[in-house]
Amino acid sequence: MCGIIGYAGYRDVVSVILNGLTKLEYRGYDSAGIAIRDDNQIKIYKTLGKLINLKNELEANRADIKNPTSGIGHIRWATHGSPSIVNAHPHTCTCGSLVVVHNGIIENYKQLREVLINKGCKFKSQTDTEVIAHLVADEYGQTKDLEKAVRNSVKKLQGAYAVCVMHKKAPDLIVGARKHAPMLIGVGDGENFIASDTPAIIEYTKKTIYLEDNEIAVVTKDKVKITDVDGNEVNKKVEILPWEPVALSKLGYKHFMLKEIHEQPDVIRNVLNGKLYDIEQPIILGEVKLNNDILKKLNKIQIIACGTSLHAALVGKYLIEDFSGISVEVEASSEYIYRKSTTDSSTLVIGVSQSGETADTITAIKQAKEKNAHVLIITNRPDSNMARLADSLIPLNAGIEVSVAATKSYTAQLISFYLLAIYLAEIKNSLEQSYLQNIKHELVQLPAKIESVLADTSVIQACARKFSSFKNFIYIARGINLATALEGALKLKEISYINATGYAAGELKHGPIAMLDETMPVLSIMIPGGITYEKVLSNCEEAKARNAKLIALTSSTDEKLDNIFDVVLRIPHVPEILSPAITCVPLQLLAYYIAEFLGKDVDQPRNLAKSVTVE
Ligand code: F6R
């Protein structure tokens, strides 16, 4: 993970870099650092913890920074070496003339380190990144040309990298390189930028050049040159970012997560907008290019994703199989990569990713493309590396999600899967029109129903208060809400650090029931009218008989439930098939309020990052 920004230009270098790092904070936040060229010296400042510490450090040292003209900054998510000042970037060579920031993992760093130590290099940190500093410095010693030194060095690196390098003797020159990690150039007038992601530069320029793997960028305030690793100049297209800078504001909410949970009704309206405009008309998915040739040979769909997006994929499988009869496999991207998959040219491969930058999913999608599968990407970032691999695209239009725990992007992914499943059913003519129209009608009603859940969260808050001291939870459900149980448990784990596990309710008696006693609350998702409602209720009775505390999440108005369960979280009536798009909301809120009562850092939970760009 980690975020990088480099800047050469006329603006206040420190402010541009700190501002850029603020926009990249979602990529990591365990330490940060900056190297600034100032009066022909390179000055380095590093701090441990959140970016605010670096801001304070620079504020305190502002008087020492006189005429900064360029610089590079980094926000870290530790991979090699614990979070510490010494491991924070920028890293330097032995004499301190060369500085490097890096995002990625250098797999052969141990071998390189040994070679460089034998050449007399003095290592200070435990990071893999430091080898890059020594390696480029070593090459620079021979070539006296920073661009050439970077080119020669990256040829020796194995793994993933986006790097920016500056050298004391190469005034205002920043050399960047990338392989399997995102990097782009922001092109300005009398100023240029290098960054991991567009939010870092959008405030200053919309002109962007996306670097591809094995490309090198040579950037000064007046020049941008892109070459391949052999130094051949590459003609790159300057793309214009299609969006405006957004002010990242909590709009009065205590946390971004709470704000984003409350945005979900509008997010759903946005996803539906232009795709479902009349329940009697077919769904329109403008950027889905499944032509007749592809559809004729299509015999299987594979959905690849990680984390919360993987849970959305599980709902997607259920819907597509149910609506269209097409068989669907769901696989974690990290598993797909390392096995012999059955993907071929008759497979539709769907990659789901909020960020569009998840390294495992990108690698899996590239493999699927090599096998000639048609690739459909569902992402909140149509400007991402993953989207640029897509044959077909469903943009989520959920707006920037700041909180590390995904909420509104999950709902947007679910709604996209409803639309896609209906779209495929309409093409295949696999369902009665009246059934499809009813589903469409219910989809349109969903935002208002979620609004009613959000309008009064008092029962959820009371439940959170009552259960916040428990150390373990089990979430159960069957059928389409099994994914909701998994996702609800994941939300609780990631922001409150409470151990929560989702199970298929029917699996409880095959092992997990052994853990049940008064210390293990069981939360069950039960939608009346659904085929498994009574079965899940029986599973809850079995849990109660083992003294487990019970929480129900249901649309049932049956008062008898209040005698069986310790807490009943009620949602408006919705057909079971549509329910995952609303059952997720009280579970997001429950996780949020528990974490909040426990005083956790809700928006930036420990050890996590919003964009997981390492495998
Ligand atoms: C959980 C969460 C993660 C991500 C996962 C995949 O709240 O956010 O589990 O879902 O890292 O990320 P994307 O969707 O960006 O590929």
- Name the residue of 354, 403, 416, 610 to mutate for ligand 1: max ligand atoms within 8 A of Cβ: 354
Q: What is the dihedral of CA 305, 311, 313, 317, to 10 degrees?
A: 140
Other Cβ atoms closer than 10 A to 332: 17
Q: Is the CB of residue 355 below 6 angstroms from any atom belonging to ligand 1?
A: yes
Please report the beta strands in 110-172, taking only residues with DSSP state E, as ranges in sequence order.
Answer: 159-167
Using the predicted structure, report yes or no on whether residue 79 has a pLDDT greater than 90: no
Please report which residue ranges of 217-358 form alpha helices under DSSP H. 256-262, 264-272, 292-297, 307-324, 333-336
Q: Which residues are catalytic?
A: 2, 610
Q: Which residue's alpha carbon is at the smallest distance from atom 5 of ligand 1?
A: 307
Mean pLDDT of 466-470: 97
Q: Is the CB of residue 612 below 6 angstroms from any atom belonging to ligand 1?
A: yes
13-68 per-position pLDDT tens digit: 999 999 999 999 888 788 999 999 998 899 999 999 999 999 999 999 998 999 99
Q: Helix, strand, or coil here: 296?
A: helix
Residue 525's pLDDT band (cuts 50, 70, 90): very high
Q: What pLDDT, on a 0 to 100 scale, did the predictor assign at position 246?
A: 66
Other Cβ atoms closer than 10 A to 47: 19
Q: What pLDDT, on a 0 to 100 scale, did the predictor assign at position 40?
A: 85
Q: What pLDDT, on a 0 to 100 scale, did the predictor assign at position 248?
A: 66
Amino acid at 572: P
Q: Which residue's alpha carbon is at the smallest distance from atom 7 of ligand 1?
A: 405
**Buried b / exposed e across 7-22, counting CB within 10 Å, b at 16+?**
bbbebebbebbbbbbb
Mean pLDDT of 355-384: 94
Q: What pLDDT, on a 0 to 100 scale, did the predictor assign at position 318?
A: 98
Calculate how far, in angstroms, residue 409's C-alpha sits from the geometric centre of ligand 1: 9
Identify whether the C-beta of residue 182 lies closer than 8 Å to the C-beta of residue 194: no
How far, in Å, are 174, 182, 263, 575 from residue 88 at the CA level? Answer: 19, 20, 35, 51
Q: Which residues contact 60 (CB under 8 A, 6 or more apart)?
A: none
Long-range contacts of 532-536 (CB under 8 A, 24+ apart): 532/478, 532/479, 532/505, 535/478, 535/505, 535/506, 536/476, 536/477, 536/478, 536/505
Instruction: Give the side-chain half-sphere CA count within 13 A for 121.
Output: 26
Residue 247's pLDDT band (cuts 50, 70, 90): low
Mean pLDDT of 425-445: 96
Q: Report the candidate in 210, 45, 225, 88 with the shortest Cα–Cα distance to residue 150.
A: 225
Using the predicted structure, report yes or no on whether residue 417 has a pLDDT greater than 80: yes
Q: How far apart are CA 200 and CA 581, in angstroms?
A: 32
The two structure tokens encoding residue 76? 């870290």
Q: How far apart are CA 214 and CA 234, in angstroms?
A: 11
Q: What pLDDT, on a 0 to 100 scale, did the predictor assign at position 296?
A: 85
Q: Is the CB of residue 308 below 6 angstroms from any atom belonging to ligand 1?
A: yes
**CA-CA-CA-CA torsion sign (168, 172, 177, 181):** positive
259-317 per-position pLDDT tens digit: 999 999 999 999 999 899 899 999 999 899 988 888 888 989 999 999 999 999 999 99
92-142 per-position pLDDT tens digit: 999 999 999 999 889 999 999 999 999 999 999 999 999 999 999 999 999
Q: What pLDDT, on a 0 to 100 scale, did the predictor assign at position 601?
A: 93
Q: How far apart are CA 496 and CA 598, in angstroms?
A: 7
Q: Which residues contact 300 (CB under 8 A, 6 or more apart)?
A: 326, 327, 328, 329, 342, 346, 347, 348
pLDDT, mean over the chain? 94
Calculate how far, in angstroms, residue 62's C-alpha sits from the geometric centre of ligand 1: 37
Question: Which DSSP letter does residue 81 get?
Answer: S
Long-range contacts of 156-160 (CB under 8 A, 24+ apart): 156/108, 156/112, 157/106, 157/108, 157/112, 157/132, 158/106, 158/107, 158/108, 159/104, 159/105, 159/106, 159/107, 159/108, 159/109, 159/128, 160/104, 160/105, 160/359, 160/613, 160/614, 160/615
How far, in Å, are 19, 486, 544 from residue 526 at the CA level? Answer: 46, 14, 16
Q: Is the CB of residue 130 below 6 angstroms from any atom belonging to ligand 1?
A: no
Q: Is the CB of residue 354 below 6 angstroms from any atom belonging to ligand 1?
A: yes
Q: How far apart are CA 363 and CA 508, in angstroms?
A: 35
Q: How far apart are CA 410 and CA 412, in angstroms?
A: 5
Residue 430's pLDDT band (cuts 50, 70, 90): very high
